[in-house]
Amino acid sequence: MIITNANIVMSDKNFRGSMEFDSDFMRISDSNHHGLGALDFEGDYLLPGFIEVHTDNLEKHFVPRPKTFWPNKLSAALDNDRDIIGSGITTVYDAISIGSYTRAKNEIVHDVINAVDEGIKKNIFKADHFIHLRCELSDPDLLENIEKYCDNKNVHFASLMDHTPGQRQWQNKEKMIEFYKKDNVVISSGNIGIDEDLIRSNDIAMKAERENRPKVVDIWKSRKILMASHDDTTEEHVIESSDYGISIAEFPTTMAAVKKAKELKMANILGAPNFIRNMSHSGNVSVNEIFQEDPFFVDALSSDYVPSSLLQAVFKLFNQGHSISKAVSYVTKNPALILSLEHLGEINEKKKSDFLRVALINNTPLIKEVYKSGKRVA
């Protein structure tokens, strides 16, 4: 198939041109093709498919409202897949919680993993899905739960979290209460009507974190699973992660942690929703401020809880003066390098033909078409 009159965005340049492709190759030209049958992109952008490292969007489809569990598990996974591919994400690492303060996530983990496994096995997802296990170190039962899934062949990534009240992301306890209050699952304060069993005492949580961290690292290292630290807040947190051999800092919460991670040659993955909103939902450092200080501190962006935020972030960066190639790299080439996905992340004759057609409507990006392995899927 041939596409013509496209604004083709490569890793180092963009130009109006044409592209011939099938499932295995892309042949790119900086001149337009005038033959019959070519698809006219009408000047729209041709971008690489996005790569998502950490999104918990999947879990929302299993529990769409507090304490409301969707009965058809595969349907929930397919609904998430439609969200993902419709946002231009062609490769996704579905972040699934193992251990949590929220009982809902503990109850659904088996169903969520099974549904992803089934979708992959039956080849019914439009995007490529991998499992990212979010390991809550403050859970005393974490190791028992990890053992159930650590040899699952679809698990390709693990992050180490500590959501103890007063620690890391939730250093500000009031922000934690504000965040969880909407789901009716926060610390009981007498007027919220919350189940106290969902929050452990800090002593228990902190003891579990100390004991679990080295054991969890060993589990994933022995299986050659890529790991990230999550919500590092202090320089000491980052140094500890680096000392364990972890090379990725996921959502560091302070400028100090961001800078220390780069000093230690760790890759910083930051939140696209934070960047779009110019602020963190939990009171942490603004990604916009990090970019303004020095883009060097940002390696990749993650959609976290809003899949469409990757697309919006690309064009916000472009509007701020970054080249379109540089803006796109934060959600394509850079995460591909971090995840060792050498066949993805660029419009390049040596890469897999996953790409998007994107138009700008009143300066708002709109995904018109999504191609996966050379086949249109959305």
Amino acid symbol at 223: R
- Write down the pLDDT at residue 334: 98
- Write down the pLDDT at residue 194: 39
Q: How many residues does the chain have?
A: 378
Cβ atoms 160, 219 nearer than 8 A: no
- Average pLDDT value for the chain: 90
Give the pLDDT confidence of 282-313 residue by residue, as tens digits: 778 999 999 999 999 999 999 999 999 999 99
The answer on pLDDT for 42 being more than 50 is yes
C-alpha angle 227-229-232 in degrees, rounded to nearest 5: 170
Residue 148 CA from chain centroid, whole number = 23
> How many CA atoms within 13 Å lie on the side-chain side of 187?
16
Sign of CA dihedral 306, 307, 310, 313: negative
Cα-Cα end-to-end distance for the chain: 16
Give the pLDDT confidence of 63-114 residue by residue, as tens digits: 998 778 999 999 999 999 999 999 999 999 999 999 876 544 578 899 999 9
What gap in Å lies between CA 193 and CA 200, rounded to an integer? 17
The answer on pLDDT for 146 being more than 50 is yes
The answer on pLDDT for 33 being more than 50 is yes
The answer on pLDDT for 248 being more than 90 is yes
Sign of CA dihedral 370, 376, 377, 378: positive
- Write down the pLDDT at residue 101: 61
What gap in Å lies between CA 156 and CA 78, rounded to an integer? 20
- Write down the pLDDT at residue 178: 53
Residue 207 backbone phi and psi in degrees, to 5: -65, -45
What pTM, to 2 d.p., does this model score?
A: 0.91
* Domain 50-345: top CATH class: alpha beta
What contacts 52, CB < 8 A, 6 or more positions away? Answer: 84, 89, 91, 92, 93, 302, 303, 307, 310, 331, 335
Report the pLDDT averaged over residues 4-14: 97
Domain boundaries in the chain? 50-345
Q: What is the dihedral of CA 288, 131, 211, 108, to 10 degrees?
A: 100
What gap in Å lies between CA 34 and CA 118, rounded to an integer? 44
